[in-house]
Structure 1
Amino acid sequence: MKILSLLLLTLFVATGCCSQKKTDMTSTQIEYSAMSRGYYKSIVVQNKSVSVTKERNAEAVQSKIDDAKWNEIVTAYSKVNLENLSSLKAPTDKRTYDGAAIGNLKITKDGKTYETAGFDNGFPPKEIEKLVNLLVDFSKE
């Protein structure tokens, strides 16, 4: 009986340590936009697909996201505190004198929208830097 108890306890601990909670992203939309007088970019990620618009009034280019890249996005997203998103401080202020386009991250989850204050395109707040950089990579392809 002791051996059976020990075996069950070991199995329980091993499965608890090895399994990670997967973040459910089926009802989540992540949108990154950057704009200034002569610049426009919009990247929308939802349900393993991405839509990229590089010019105002242009047609969006849609594509699928491979599993490896999707897992990176899910991991970066899971580290973002949605409630504090609007209070993040931008590390630079180039956008105030047209030195950089204004970047913005908007996340819609379960019908509720969370949005950052404007920050310099290319210089996001540290708390969302990994996620923003993963999104911007889609516009470079």
Structure 2
Amino acid sequence: MGGSSSIQINTDSIFEVKMDRHGSVKNAMEFSKGEWKALSKVGKSIDLNGVDTIKSPTHRRKVDAAPYAYLIFKTKDSTYQSASFDGGEPPVKLKNVVNTMLTFSMIRKGK
């Protein structure tokens, strides 16, 4: 599909990278304690030990009809990666986390 994007959120910052055939755009912004608290609350509903087995509701990414997506959760002790899913169609168990991340990201862009 000719491009990629990533969002990385830490306790105090949000960092986005969008790449396409014309180059890359990078944005780094502050992330408030309130926003981190809201995201953490949503994230606590996910069983990280089973996040790699959550099934995707759609499979359009396999025929290049949707972007490939996954989440990586890092704790003090471990890193957990979700199974892949179609960008824009996360599994129900991940939907709140994905939508919360995207909301925080879009607010800063004025969209």
The answer as to whether partners of 1:54 and 1:139 remain within 8 angstroms in 2 is no
Percent identity among equivalent residues?
25
Residue by residue over 1:46-76, the C-alpha shift from the partner in whole angstroms, topping out at 9 and shown as x without a partner, is: 1121101111663531111234432220111
Equivalent position of 2:31 in the other structure: 65
Structure 1 distance, partners of 2:44, 2:62, is: 31
Runs of 4+ in 1 over 4 A off after TM superposition: none
Secondary structure, counterpart of 1:70 in structure 2: helix
Q: Which has the larger radius of gyration?
A: 1
Secondary structure, counterpart of 2:70 in structure 1: strand
Unpaired segments ≥5 residues, structure 2: none
RMSD, matched Cα: 1.7
Residue by residue over 1:22-62, the C-alpha shift from the partner in whole angstroms, topping out at 9 and shown as x without a partner, is: xxxxxxxxxxxxxxx32211000111211011116635311
Is 1:120 the counterpart of 2:81? The answer is no
- Greater mean alpha carbon deviation, residues 59-68 or residues 109-118: 59-68
- Length-normalised TM-score, structure 2: 0.84
Point out which structure has higher relative CO (alpha carbons under 8 A, 6+ apart).
1
- Length-normalised TM-score, structure 1: 0.67
Tell me the number of residue pairs that the alignment of Structure 1 and Structure 2 aligns.
105
Amino acid across the alignment from 2:53 = S
Unpaired segments ≥5 residues, structure 1: 1-36
Amino acid across the alignment from 1:42 = S
